[in-house]
Amino acid sequence: MRWFLSGTAAVLLVVISALSYFAYTAQPSSQFLTVFQVLAPSLATILTAVVALMIYASQQATQRLWLDAKQEDEKARLASTIYKEIKSAENAIEKIRAKNVEKIQQYGPNSFSLINETAPPILPYESWTKNKHLFVGALSSEHFDTIDQSFEAAIQAEDCRAWALDLFRYQAQEKARARVDAVNSLTKDLVVERLRASKGYPTVPGILDDGIDNIKAACEKEFYRLTGLPSEIFVPKELFDRAEQALESFKPIINTPAGQALKQLCRIYSA
């Protein structure tokens, strides 16, 4: 279309030039030529305006084609990114479920959070949530809803993982602070006992100068056993419930018609 407009504009420019030249150089040998000489400038002006409009239309058509091509490239990139994200989420949730089966066999049900700080990243980015409006017409309503529901469940699972990780980090800091305080208190008591022994005062049986280091090491080992090992004591029940709900709600889609439709979009837009 844009080539036709450009070619037509070029032809009209030639016609305008010829009319202008003929109008101003021809001798008025007849009434027709006289009338033509009078009208030629007006016709040239009109044709010039038409050519300008055709050139403008051609430029607009070219710009629209460029924008359409750019939008198709962006859709291809987004479709590929979304497909990779949901596939990665499926793999992560499958690993979490397999690990939970092992834990249930070892510790029993309801004894731990189904998604904890050791879980792999599930959905670090939310490309679907931000761009799903672009695929409303490209996917059937059934496939769109299936993909949307799986992404919503994956987002909830990722929120649970982030929550569990924040709790773990906070508790780790508190445990470290508790261990430091306990060791400092123990060291102070041992120093006092050693000073008492050096002055000949009665001391706690078994605490001698050459045994203080061993006692300190043994106490630190007990502190680590009590405060350093993983614990579910401070995990709120809401995290248990939300994690269980997210894992139950998530449905794999890669090998479903909806997943194949999403994969097909990657090919269509990139073709």
- 10-residue mean pLDDT profile of the chain (271 residues): values are 51 55 53 56 68 70 60 80 93 92 76 82 91 88 94 95 88 78 75 71 59 70 66 75 92 92 75 47
Give the pLDDT of residue 271.
47
What is the predicted pLDDT for the residue at 219? 73
Q: What's the confidence (pLDDT) of residue 35?
A: 53
DSSP state letters, the chain: -HHHHHHHHHHHHHHHHHHHHHHHHS---SHHHHHHHHHHHHHHHHHHHHHHHHHHHHHHHHHHHHHHHHHHHHHHHHHHHHHHHHHHHHHHHHHHHHHHHHHHHHH-TTSS-SS-TTSPPS-S--HHHHHGGGGTTTS-HHHHHHHHHHHHHHHHHHHHHHHHHHHHHHHHHHHHHHHHHHHHHHHHHHHHHHHHHHTT----TT--GGGHHHHHHHHHHHHHHHHTS---TT--HHHHHHHHHHHHH----TTSHHHHHHHHHHHHHH-
Task: Output the pTM of the full model.
Answer: 0.62
pLDDT of residue 136: 87
Confidence at residue 255, expressed as pLDDT on a 0 to 100 scale: 92
Per-residue confidence (pLDDT) for residue 18, from 0 to 100: 57
User: What is the chain's mean pLDDT, rounded?
Assistant: 76
- Return the pLDDT at 83: 92
| The pLDDT value given to residue 49 | 73
